[in-house]
Chains A and B, each alone.
Chain A
Amino acid sequence: MLEEAKARQRAGVDVVVALVETHGREETAALLTTLEQLPRRQIDYRGQQLAKWISTRCWRAGPISRSSTSFAHTNAPGSRHPKRWQDVMEALDAGIDVVTTLNIQHIESLNDAVAQITGVRVQETLPDEVLARADQIELIDLPPEELIQRLKDGKGLSRRAGRPGARQLLHEGKLTALREMALRTAAGRVDADMIGFICRPTRSARFWPAQERILVCINEAPGAKMLVRAGKRMAERAKLPWIVATVLTPKHESMDAAARLGTQDALRLAETLGAETATLRVASDAAGEILRYARQRNVTRLIIGRARWHGALTQRLMALIREPVSEKLLDGATDFEVTVVTPHARAERRKLERKRPVPHRHRQGRGRRARRRRARDPAGLAHRRLRCGSHRRDHGHLPAGGAADGGALRPRRLAGRERARLPRLQLPLHRALLHLGGGEGVGSGVARRLPARRAVHRHARQPPVRTGRGDARLPSPHRDALRVRPQDRRGHQVRRRPVGGGGPHRQDARRPCADPDARRERQSGAGAGWPSIEDGLDPGAQGAARWAFDKAEPAGLGTGTLPNSAWLFVPLATAGKPFGVIGVKFRDPARAGDPDTRRLLLAVEDQVAVAIERNRLSDELAGARVAAESDKLRAALLNSVSHDLRTPLVTVIGAASALAESGEELDPAQRRELASAVLDEAGRLDRYVQNLLDMTRLGHGALKPKRAAIDLREIVGSVRSDLARTLARHTMMVDIPKDMPALDVDPVLIGQALANLLENAAKYAPTGTVITLSGREDDGMAEVAVQDQGPGIAAADRARIFDLFHRAAKGDGAPAGTGMGLAIVKGLVEAHGGSVRAEAAPDGWGASIVMRLPLAPARADGDGET
C-alpha cells in the first residue's frame, strides 16, 4: 500500500499518510520517509500507545490522496467517529481519494461465516456498503510458505500474534477457507463491476427487477442478525432488493429491554448492509401481517427463522400450547418461496452432527401440530424450502458466503474441495487493497446513489408514523409530546439562528426547538422568547448539530457520528435538504439508544418537519393566490382601459376629425351636434377616470364621506341633469314619497353611485323602455332602487356583479363600461355603512339594484344640531 502511495506521489498526486501501524518494522518505516504524515495524537488507550487519526485537519486539506491501514478498526474513545471507516467515508465525501487495506474477516456480511470457520468472532467489522464504494479492489495474496516465513521473521501481525484467537486464525485449514473467501469476494466484486459496466446504473434499484423482493422476517429471538446476514447474501446473489421486517405485537411492550434491543440491533445491521427495514405493528396476527406486507411489497421470497424453545420438555409443551409464527407463516405463505433458517444451526451444527444423529426436528413433539409438520416435511430438512427453484444453484456459486444453506458452511467440505483444485496453495494472507475514490467517476456515482438509499430507509420508517395509527401505538407520554397542536404551530415555525461555527450555512441553520427542557420552559413562561440552545452547546454538540444538518443524518449521542456528545441531533427534512435539526439532551444518556425513544424522536421529527413544510406550502399557496388574483385584476384593468376607455375616444376623435376636415360644409346645427357629441363623450371618459380614481381611493380606504342630512330628491335632480343625454333614449320615472326622511350621506359620493346605476340601466335596457328610480323608508334605513326593463340579471350572477371587473356579458359585444361601475357603487354605499343588492324587478321584467342608506336623525334632532 505504501508503495502504491509512493507511486502516486511520483505521479504528482498530493499524498498524505493518515495512519500507518509499522508494527515496529524498519522496512515499513523506511517507506514512510518521503511521505508526509499527519500528526499523530498519542492517546493512552488500554495501556497501548494508539495513534489517533486527527481527521478534521486532514479532510479539510483539499483533494489529495491519503493512505490508511486497518480500515475496519475502532477509533480511540473521544474521536470524531467510533470507526475508522467512517473517517474514510467523510474523507471521500470531502473529495479525497483514500487508499487503505482490509482483512477479509472484517467484512460484515461474512462475519458469521468467519466465526464459523475460525471459531473466533471478529468484533471489528466493516459494512458491505463501504466495500461496495471502492473504485478498485486489489487482492494481496501470498504463497503460504512466504506467509509462514514472514510470521516467523516477525513481519505482519507481529503484535497481534500474541492475542488469543490469533493462533486459531493461523490454522492451516482455516486459512485455506479464509483464502477462498477472499478470492471469491474479490471475484464477486469484479463480476459486479462488469455487470455495472454493461448495464448502468449498477446497484441502483432500477437494476433490480422491481417486481421481486426478498423479505427477511426477524423477531426478538436470538439469531436475528444471522437471518439478516443470510438475507443479505441471498439478495446479493440474486441481485434482488431486500427488506428486513419485524412485527411488534402488544406483548412486545412487556418484553425486557435486552430482547427489544436485539431486534433493533438486527434492524440497524440490516440498514448497514443496505436493506430496507420495516417495523410492522399489529394487535395479534403477526403471521397475517407479514404476509399482507409481503404481498403489498411484491415480495417473492421469505426468509424466516424457526421458533425454538430451550429444553426438550418446553419444546413439546410450547408446541402443544400455541403454534409458532413461523408455522403459521408456512401455512399461509402458499404463494411465496420460503426459506426457514433454524437459529443456532451454525453454532450447534457440529454438536448436532456429533451428538445427535437424529435430526433435531424429530424431537419437536408428538402433538397434532408436530404430526402435521412431519407430514409436510418428511425429509426432515432443517432448512425447509418451498419451490426453491434455482436457489440451490445460487448457493453452490458462492459456498463460503452461504450461511443460509447450512451445507455450504462446513469448513471441512470447503477445505477438501479447495485442496482438490489447488493442491499446493495452503496458507494465504487475506489482505485486500482498496481504492476508495471520491469526487469523480464511479465514486461520485456511488455517492449520488447513496442518498437515494437513505430516502428508501426514510420511507420505510415513515409509514408507521404517518398512517395516523402512529399516535395510538406510542406510550401515552409520547403521544402527548407528539401531537402538534395548533397553538404550537408558532413554536414550530422556522427561526434563523446560527448553530455555531462560521460555515457558509451559518445563516441557513434554522432550528425549531423540540428540546424537552426548553419546551417546558417556554410553556411555563419562564423563558420568554426563543431559548438560545446553542449558547449552551459545547463544540462537540455544535459539530454534531452541523453534521446532522449538512449530512441529513442523525448525529451525536447514540449514533455513529460524534457519539460522545451529550446531545442527539436528528435532521428535519421532508424531502431534499434539511431545514433544521432537532436536538435532544437526555437526562439518562442510556435512553438515547432505546428503540422506543428513537422511534419517538423520528416520529417527532417527522411531525415537526411535516408541520413546517405544511406551513411553508400554505404560505406559498397564499402568495401564489394573491399573485394570481392581482394578475387577474391587472389583466382586467388593462382590458378595461384598452377597450372601454377607447370607446368614448372613438366618438371624440371621429367627431372632431369631421369638424376639422369638413366643418365648412356643415351647417351650424350639424357643427353644434358634433361638438356636443365630443363634449358628451369627453364627459363619459371623465366619469370613467373618476371611477378609476374612486376605486383606488376605496381600495386604500382613503375615501371619507362628508356626510350631511340631504333630501334624496336633491341628489336625484342633480344626477338627472348630468346624465340628460345618456338617459334621453329612455323614459325616466321617479317615485319618492313626499314624507321621505333626509339621508345622512355624502351627496357627491351617493350622486356618483346613483349615476353609475342609472348609466348602467340605460346601457342594458333597450331604447324606449322605462327606468324607475324609487325611494322608501325601510326599518330605519332608506332603500333607493333603480329598476330597468332590460334583460335582467341571472340569479347566479346577482352576487358577483358587484365584483370588480365582473361583467355579465364578455368581450366588446358588451355595452361599453369599465366593469367597475357596480363595484364602485358597492364601495361607496358601504363607506356610508349601507349595503347594496341586486334582485329581479318586481314585475319580473328587468333588473333592480337596491341601495340601503342611512337616514339622518329625526328632523327635530337635526334642527337642534344646526
Chain B
Amino acid sequence: MTAPRILIVDDEAPIRRFLKIALGSGGFAVIEAERGRQGVELAATAAPEAVVLDLGLPDMDGKAVIAAIREWSQVPILILSVRDGEAEKIAALDAGADDYVTKPFATGELMARLRAACGSGLPAPPKRRRSSSAP
C-alpha cells in the first residue's frame, strides 16, 4: 500500500520543511505548495488523500481555496492557521473544511487528526509515541 499523499499549502518554507520530515516519519508522502493557486492546481492534479491548508496565503484567501477545491472534490481539508478566533473556525468549517488546528501545534496531534480524516487503511500510529513523555 502506497503512502497516502498529503498536500501542504503554506507560504512559510520552514513550516513546510519540518512538516515534510515529521509527516514523512509518520508514513505520509508530502506534496508542497507555496501559494493558494498552486495548491488548488495540485489538489486537482496530484490527487492527495488530504489537504493541510494555511488560511493566510499571499495570493488568495484560505476560504477561497476551500471553495475552489470543493467545487469538484470532497477531499478532506484540514486547516492549519494562527487565527484562533471562534468566528474564524466556524467560517472555515462552514466553507467546507473538515478540521481545524491552530498554530503552533504538536506534530503528533496533527498526524492523529490526519489519520482520522483519511479513515481506515492509513499508517498505524507509531508504537512508542508516548515513551519520551514519561519523566
Chain A residues near B (Cβ < 8 Å)? 643, 646-655, 657-658, 660-666, 670, 673-674, 677, 680-681, 729, 767, 809, 811-816
* B22 lies within 8 A of A662 (CB): yes
What residues of A have a CB within 8 angstroms of the CB of B22 in the complex?
654-655, 657-658, 662, 674
| A457→B82 CA distance, assembly (Å) | 63
Q: How far apart are the CA atoms of A646 and B43 in the complex, in Å?
A: 28
Name A649's closest neighbour in chain B (CB-CB): B104
- Knowing A657-B106, A657-B108 touch, does A647 contact B12 (C-beta < 8 A)? yes
Chain A residues near B11: list those with CB within 8 A.
815
| Subset of 18 A-B contacts with CB under 8 Å | A648-B14, A650-B15, A651-B18, A654-B15, A654-B19, A657-B107, A658-B22, A662-B25, A662-B126, A662-B129, A663-B132, A666-B21, A673-B18, A674-B21, A677-B18, A812-B81, A814-B58, A816-B12
Contacts of A648 in B (CB 8 A): 14
Chain A residues contacting B104 (CB-CB under 8 Å) are 646, 649-650, 652-654
A contact residues around B105 at 8 Å (CB): 650, 653-654, 657
B131: chain A residues within 8 A (beta carbon): 664
Q: Per-position contact with A for B11-32: 1 when CB-CB < 8 Å, else 0?
A: 1111101110110111000000
Q: How far is the CA of A681 from the CA of B12 in the complex (A)?
A: 11
* Distance (whole angstroms) from the CB of B61 to the closest CB of chain A: 7
- In the assembly, what is the distance between CA of A647 and CA of B126, in Å? 28
In the bound complex, what is the Cα–Cα distance between A31 and B14 (angstroms)?
104
Decide: A812 and B83 in contact? CB cutoff 8 A.
yes
**Docked pose: A321 CA to B49 CA in angstroms:** 109
Query: Are B82 and A661 in contact, with the CB atoms below 8 A?
Result: no
Rounded to whole angstroms, the CA-CA distance of A248 and B86 in the bound complex is 72
B contact set with A: CB distance below 8 Å: 11-15, 17-19, 21-22, 24-26, 34, 55-58, 61, 81-83, 103-108, 126, 128-129, 131-133
The residues of A that contact B25 with a CB separation of less than 8 Å are 658, 662, 665-666, 670
B37 CB to closest chain A CB (Å) equals 12
Assess A646 versus B106: contact at CB under 8 Å? Given A658-B22, A813-B56.
Answer: no
CB of B71 to closest CB in A, whole Å: 21
A149 to chain B, nearest CB (A): 93
Contact between chains at A658 and B82 (CB < 8 Å)? no
B108 and chain A: residue at smallest CB distance: A661
What secondary structure prevails in chain A residues at the interface with B? helix
Let me know if B107 and A654 touch, CB within 8 A.
yes
Q: Do B14 and A651 touch across chains, with their CB atoms under 8 A apart?
A: yes
* Residues of chain B lying within 8 A (CB to CB) of residue A809: 58
15 more A-B residue pairs beyond the given contacts A654-B105, A674-B18, A814-B58, with a C-beta to C-beta distance below 8 A: A646-B103, A647-B82, A653-B104, A653-B105, A654-B18, A654-B104, A657-B105, A660-B133, A661-B107, A662-B108, A665-B25, A670-B25, A681-B14, A812-B82, A813-B61
Closest 7 CB pairs of A and B: A812-B56, A658-B22, A657-B106, A655-B18, A653-B104, A651-B14, A658-B107
The CA of A680 and the CA of B105, in the complex, are separated in Å by: 18
Chain B residues near A649: list those with CB within 8 A.
Answer: 104
User: A658-B21, A658-B22, A661-B132 are contacts. A651–B106 as well, Cβ < 8 Å?
Assistant: no
Bound Cα distance from A649 to B131, whole angstroms: 24
Nearest-Cβ distance from residue A667 to partner chain B, whole angstroms: 9
Return chain A residues, CB-CB under 8 Å to B26. Answer: 662
Q: Which of B55, B104, B132 has the most CB of A within 10 A?
A: B104
Determine the distance from Cα of A335 to Cα of B11 in the docked complex, in whole angstroms. Answer: 78
Residues on A with C-beta less than 8 A from B18 are 651, 654-655, 658, 673-674, 677
Q: B61: which A residues are within 8 A, CB to CB?
A: 813
A658 nearest in chain B by CB position = B22
Q: Which residue of A lies closest to B109 (CB)?
A: A657
Shortest Cβ distance from B17 into chain A, in angstroms?
6
**Pairwise interchain contact A677-B83, C-beta atoms closer than 8 A:** no
Q: Which residues of chain B come closer than 8 Å to A813, judged between CB atoms?
A: 56-58, 61
Q: Which residue from chain B places its CB closest to the CB of A666 in the assembled complex?
A: B25
Roughly how many angstroms separate A647 CA and B17 CA in the complex, as a whole number?
Answer: 14
Q: Which of B58, B81, B129 interacts with A661 by CB under 8 Å?
A: B129
Instruction: Point out the residues of chain B lying under 8 angstroms from A658, CB to CB.
Output: 18, 21-22, 25, 107
Decide: B17 and A673 in contact? CB cutoff 8 A. Answer: yes
- Given A813-B57, A815-B11, the answer on whether A650 and B106 have CB atoms closer than 8 Å is no
A670 near B21: Cβ-Cβ < 8 Å: yes
Residue of B nearest to A665 (CB): B25
Pair A660/B132 contact, Cβ less than 8 Å: yes
Q: Quote the shortest CB–CB distance from B29 to chain A (angstroms).
A: 15
A657 — which chain B residues lie within 8 A by C-beta? 22, 105-108
Query: How far apart sit A278 and B106, CA to CA, in the bound complex (Å)?
Result: 81
Q: A183 CB to closest chain B CB, in angstroms?
A: 76
CB of B41, distance to nearest CB on chain A (Å): 16
State the CA gap A815–B34 with chains docked (Å). Answer: 11
